């Protein structure tokens, strides 16, 4: 393993780049050199003498725990943040604004999915581009290019003229990536850009990254998905507490080496073991009977047991996310209602969030920007607001019991290791992963009986993830139950009691015990049943439509989600086999 990197000093800043109305201007004058950079926010030292060096023609990962300064490093290289001291040179430029960075051939996809909901997909793709080369492109050409780009990235035909607000988070994430790729950047910086993508989508992103690298660009990625970064990166720089602590070359990039550098310790925090199955004989605490997520999808009979950690998997758009939001009362199913066990041992229907909360069901969204944080409120308020009313002392004035709230805050913030300055600071002052921890803390603080988590570890570092599994396991051992949707299938191993895999808006397969293996889950996600459920929706000999569903990645013709293109809907309505969508 390389020791702490020492870098040569960077190129001198070249000043602002010229604007151009032609294709993106790129003048390659050197590589990427960040030297001894310091950047503080008040008392927080986000970068504390950080150095980093990457070359054109490589995929280089920037790795480290939540709050160690990765996004800040990405932002200083993208002209979003000025440094307090030190030097930044990216292909000969020191951009002082995102616009300058873009003109220099540097494109960044930031961690938060920045999409204007009310604008169309095409407008979102060209957002901010109108002062440069795309100004001259007629709308028709933009629509054509947008459709091609989105098809390449998502493998489905999207209606690019539809408003982006109706799209799932993963597709919005693709828009932000497509926006950067349209520029054919010389340096592409991806800050947690695969965090909302499923496995197959991630492969498409990787193909794009390799293509760019092979054309001579540098691709810098920030990710907490260790298995992915091991596969894709040529080199990795590890940060800890705002400093670079080591550079790993391809063969050295292993989970053990990464964790050792990230934490400064050598032990691995997560040792997978098969999870005991006795809980599957315990009482049912939540169930559905003939519930249909989409009007045309297969009905779902489902049961969650007391003490169970149930994993939920599926390729994007297969209904798993809709299902968990139905269970949590966030949305209604096309048919049927989930039922939850009541204190008197009967079952009550969940018709909305209020009933879910009343019967002890809490929800954590992975889409923290849209469904989670209150951006204008403090860290404290964000973690505890749902408790304000509950802890109000009886009486006319209903005074909030601040001392008990403070105790809850301290407990949750400490056990989830939320890295923060003052608790009264706005939640947006926290790094992305730490914001997510606050949302998880909020759900725990409500002391629920059933926790429904929708890809909660998105952007959470590997150490904190292991802690989260520990807390959730302990929670389940206290007789509570957990529903855990993840787009990262490795998460289930050694943690979930059972995993159900969704296809076409319904449960397709199910795994328990030692069968909870990434390879098994993956095959089921792609339509090959390997578990106990064996709900085969396309047996050999079935017509081509079903075979296409199994072989391909398209959601089946049964119950296409509404954001797919008009063309897909027309094909479905005409009884088409849908295989033309790829």
Where does this chain bind ligand ATP (CB under 6 A)? 41, 44, 46, 64, 66-72, 111, 419, 429-434, 459, 461
Query: Which residue number, 64 or 336, has a Cβ lying nearer to ligand ATP?
Result: 64
Q: How far is the CB of 509 from ligand ATP (least distance, A)?
A: 33
Structure tokens given for 268: 């691995």
Give CA–CA dist 96/110, Å, rounded: 17
DSSP output for 530-570: -SS----SS-TTS-HHHHHHHHS-SPPSTT--TTB-HHHHH
**HEC string of 263-319?**
HCCCCCCCCCCCCCCHHHHCCEEEEEEEEECCCCCCCEEEEEECCCEEEEEECCCCC
Query: Which residue number, 390 or 426, has a Cβ lying nearer to ligand ATP?
Result: 426
Q: How far is the CB of 463 from ligand ATP (least distance, A)?
A: 11
Query: Which residue number, 11 or 45, has a Cβ lying nearer to ligand ATP?
Result: 45
Q: How far is the CB of 67 from ligand ATP (least distance, A)?
A: 4
Q: How far is the CB of 77 from ligand ATP (least distance, A)?
A: 12
Give CA–CA dist 478/385, Å, rounded: 25
How is residue 131 annotated by DSSP? T
Query: Which residue number, 41 or 402, has a Cβ lying nearer to ligand ATP?
Result: 41
Between β-strands 187-191 and 106-109, what pairing exists: parallel, antiparallel or unpaired? Answer: parallel
Q: How far is the CB of 192 from ligand ATP (least distance, A)?
A: 6
Query: Which residue number, 72 or 120, has a Cβ lying nearer to ligand ATP?
Result: 72
Query: Which residue number, 44 or 520, has a Cβ lying nearer to ligand ATP?
Result: 44
Q: How far is the CB of 94 from ligand ATP (least distance, A)?
A: 19
Q: How far is the CB of 36 from ligand ATP (least distance, A)?
A: 17
Identify the three-state secondary structure at position 354. Answer: helix
Residue 254 CA: distances (Å) to CA of 62, 132, 227, 249, 260: 14, 41, 9, 10, 10
User: Closest Cα partner for 129 from 185, 193, 74, 179?
Assistant: 179
Query: Which residue number, 51 or 111, has a Cβ lying nearer to ligand ATP?
Result: 111
Q: Specify whether the CB–CB gap between 318 and 504 falls below 8 A.
A: yes
Between β-strands 187-191 and 218-222, what pairing exists: parallel, antiparallel or unpaired? Answer: parallel
Phi-psi region of 514 (alpha: psi -120 to 50; beta: other; left: phi over 0): alpha
Q: How far is the CB of 238 from ligand ATP (least distance, A)?
A: 11
Query: Which residue number, 149 or 373, has a Cβ lying nearer to ligand ATP?
Result: 373
Q: How far is the CB of 423 from ligand ATP (least distance, A)?
A: 12
The residue number whose beta carbon is nearest to ligand ATP equals 433
Q: Residue 385: exposed, middle, or buried by beta-carbon count in 10 A (0-12, 13-18, 19+)?
A: middle
Query: Which residue number, 70 or 305, has a Cβ lying nearer to ligand ATP?
Result: 70
User: Closest Cα partner for 356 from 375, 370, 337?
Assistant: 337
Structure tokens given for 534: 């064996």
Q: In the sheet where 361-365 sits, what is the strand order?
A: 361-365, 450-454, 481-485, 309-314, 498-503, 506-512
Q: How far is the CB of 434 from ligand ATP (least distance, A)?
A: 5
Close Cβ partners of 322 (under 8 Å, ≥ 6 residues apart)? 293, 294, 331, 333, 505
Q: How far is the CB of 62 from ligand ATP (least distance, A)?
A: 8
Between β-strands 506-512 and 498-503, what pairing exists: parallel, antiparallel or unpaired? Answer: antiparallel
Query: Which residue number, 71 or 486, has a Cβ lying nearer to ligand ATP?
Result: 71
Query: Which residue number, 248 or 427, has a Cβ lying nearer to ligand ATP?
Result: 427
Q: How far is the CB of 268 from ligand ATP (least distance, A)?
A: 19
Give CA–CA dist 106/89, Å, rounded: 11
Query: Which residue number, 21 or 40, has a Cβ lying nearer to ligand ATP?
Result: 40
Give CA–CA dist 173/168, Å, rounded: 9
């Amino acid at each position: 393993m390389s020791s702490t990197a020492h870098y040569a000093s960077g190129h001198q800043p070249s000043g602002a780049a010229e604007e151009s109305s032609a294709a993106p201007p790129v003048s390659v004058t050197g590589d990427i050199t960040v030297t001894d950079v310091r950047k503080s926010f008040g008392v927080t030292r986000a970068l504390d003498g950080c150095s980093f060096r990457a070359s054109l023609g490589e995929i280089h990962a920037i790795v480290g725990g939540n709050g160690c300064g990765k996004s800040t490093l990405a932002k200083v290289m993208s002209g979003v943040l000025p440094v307090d001291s030190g030097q930044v040179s990216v292909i000969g430029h020191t951009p002082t604004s995102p616009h300058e960075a873009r003109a220099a051939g540097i494109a960044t996809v930031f961690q938060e999915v920045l999409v204007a909901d009310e604008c169309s997909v095409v407008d979102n793709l060209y957002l901010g581009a109108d002062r440069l080369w795309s100004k001259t492109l007629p709308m028709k050409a933009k629509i054509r290019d947008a459709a091609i780009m989105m098809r390449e990235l998502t493998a489905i035909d999207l209606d690019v003229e539809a408003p982006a607000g109706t799209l799932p988070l993963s597709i919005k994430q693709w828009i932000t990536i497509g926006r950067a790729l349209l520029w054919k950047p010389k340096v592409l910086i991806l800050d947690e850009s695969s965090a909302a993508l499923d496995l197959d989508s991630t492969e498409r992103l990787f193909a794009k990254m390799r293509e760019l690298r092979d054309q001579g660009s540098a691709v810098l990625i920030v990710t907490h998905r260790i298995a992915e970064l091991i596969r894709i990166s040529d080199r990795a720089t590890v940060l800890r507490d705002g400093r670079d602590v080591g550079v790993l070359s391809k063969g050295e990039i292993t989970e053990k080496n990464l964790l050792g550098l990230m934490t400064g310790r050598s032990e691995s925090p997560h040792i997978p073991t098969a999870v005991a199955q006795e809980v599957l004989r315990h009482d049912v605490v939540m169930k559905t009977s003939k519930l249909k997520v989409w009007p045309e999808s297969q009905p779902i009979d489902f049961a969650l047991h007391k003490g169970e950690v149930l994993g939920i998997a599926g390729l994007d758009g297969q209904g798993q996310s809709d299902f968990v939001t139905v269970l949590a009362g966030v949305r209604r199913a096309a048919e049927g209602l989930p039922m939850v066990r009541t204190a008197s041992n009967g079952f009550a229907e969940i018709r909305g969030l209020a009933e879910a909360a009343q019967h002890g069901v809490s929800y954590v969204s992975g889409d923290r920007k849209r469904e989670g944080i209150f951006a204008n409120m403090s860290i404290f308020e964000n973690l505890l607001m749902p408790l304000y009313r509950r802890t109000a002392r009886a009486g006319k004035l209903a005074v909030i019991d601040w001392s008990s709230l403070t105790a809850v805050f301290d407990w949750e913030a400490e056990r989830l290791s939320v890295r923060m300055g003052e608790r009264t600071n706005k939640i947006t002052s926290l790094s992305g992963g730490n914001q997510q921890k606050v949302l998880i803390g909020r759900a725990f603080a409500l002391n629920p009986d059933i926790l429904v988590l929708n890809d909660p570890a998105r952007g959470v570092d590997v150490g904190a993830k292991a802690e989260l599994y520990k807390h959730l396991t302990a929670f389940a051992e206290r007789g509570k139950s957990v529903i855990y949707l993840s787009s990262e299938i490795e998460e289930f191993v050694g943690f979930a009691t059972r995993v159900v895999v969704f296809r076409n808006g319904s449960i397709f397969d199910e795994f328990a015990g030692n069968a909870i293996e990434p390879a098994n889950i993956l095959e089921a996600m792609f339509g090959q049943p390997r578990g106990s459920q064996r709900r085969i929706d396309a047996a050999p000999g079935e017509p081509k439509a079903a075979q296409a569903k199994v072989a391909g990645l398209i959601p089946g013709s049964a119950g296409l989600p509404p954001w797919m293109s008009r063309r897909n809907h027309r094909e479905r309505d005409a009884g088409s086999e849908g295989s033309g969508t790829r």
